[in-house]
């Protein structure tokens, strides 16, 4: 009889927790400007970067970033692809600095009509990153499209 009551209690608590956590909508992560960007290694066609990135997770559950992929544009020309090297976890209700390791494959730079001379003449560099972030938490998996742009002027 005692075992039956414990089983009912466990099922009730499990159902209660599942409905309360499953019904709360996913709140978006807040990603700010990188604090540091370090070049880990570089070759003629790719580069490995370590980015220290402040990320705020307002959710009451941790989120695991499984995949980050994107395309890097310079002055509207696609010049390469970016992808994370490994997954990382963002703790619940956190506002922390995270180390993000990414590979940048810029082998498309020569096919894109990219010209350093033209950029230096314009004295303006438009950077844009289009991508998709795949996150996972408990039973939920979500893909988030993102787009970041930045303009740099040379003097």
Using 50, 70 and 90 to split pLDDT, how confident is the model at 153? confident
Inside any domain, residue 94: yes
Task: Dump pLDDT digits (tens) for 99-141.
Answer: 888 888 876 666 656 655 666 567 777 778 888 888 887 777 8
Domain presence at residue 24? no
The pLDDT score that the predictor gives to residue 11 is: 62
* Total structural domains within the chain: 1
Direct distance between the N- and C-terminal alpha carbons of the chain, in angstroms, rounded to an integer: 81
**Cα–Cα dist 46/74, whole Å:** 16
The model scores a pTM over 0.75: no
Element (H, E) at 67: strand 63-74
The answer to whether position 5 is within a domain reads: no
In a domain, 62, yes or no: yes
Separation of alpha carbons 106 and 69, rounded Å: 13
Least confident of 26-30, 63-67, 86-90, 96-100: 26-30
Is residue 90 assigned to a domain?
yes
Tell me which residue range forms the domain holding 109.
38-153
What is the model's pLDDT at position 102? Answer: 87
Q: Does 32 fall in a domain? A: no
**Cβ-Cβ contacts under 8 Å for 80 (sequence gap 6 or more):** 71, 72, 104, 105, 106, 107, 108, 109
pLDDT of residue 112: 59
* Tokens encoding 83: 């992808």
Q: Residue 135 maps to which CATH number?
A: 2.60.40.10
Query: Quick check: is 23 in a domain?
Result: no
Mean pLDDT for 3-20 is 60
pLDDT at 22 over 60: no
User: Could you give the residue ranges of the DSSP H alpha helices within the chain?
Assistant: 2-23, 116-122
Residue 29, in any domain of the structure: no
Question: Per-residue pLDDT for 147 more than 70?
Answer: yes
41-84, pLDDT tens digit by residue?
A: 888 778 888 888 888 888 888 889 888 898 888 778 787 888 98
For residue 100, the tally of other CB atoms under 10 A from its CB is 19
DSSP one-letter code for 79: E
């Amino acid at each position: 009889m005692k075992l039956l009551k414990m089983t009912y209690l466990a099922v009730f608590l499990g159902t209660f927790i599942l409905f309360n956590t499953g019904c709360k909508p996913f709140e978006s992560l807040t990603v700010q400007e990188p604090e540091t960007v370090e070049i880990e290694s570089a070759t003629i066609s790719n580069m490995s970067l370590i980015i220290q990135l402040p990320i705020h997770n307002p959710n009451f559950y941790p989120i695991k970033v499984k995949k980050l992929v994107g395309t890097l544009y310079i002055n509207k020309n696609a010049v390469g692809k970016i992808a994370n090297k490994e997954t990382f976890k963002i703790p619940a209700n956190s506002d922390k600095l995270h180390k993000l390791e990414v590979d940048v494959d810029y082998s498309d730079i020569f096919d894109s009509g990219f010209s350093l001379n033209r950029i230096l003449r314009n004295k303006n560099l438009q950077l844009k990153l289009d991508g998709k972030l795949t996150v996972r938490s408990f039973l939920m998996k979500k893909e988030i499209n993102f787009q970041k742009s930045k303009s740099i002027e040379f003097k």
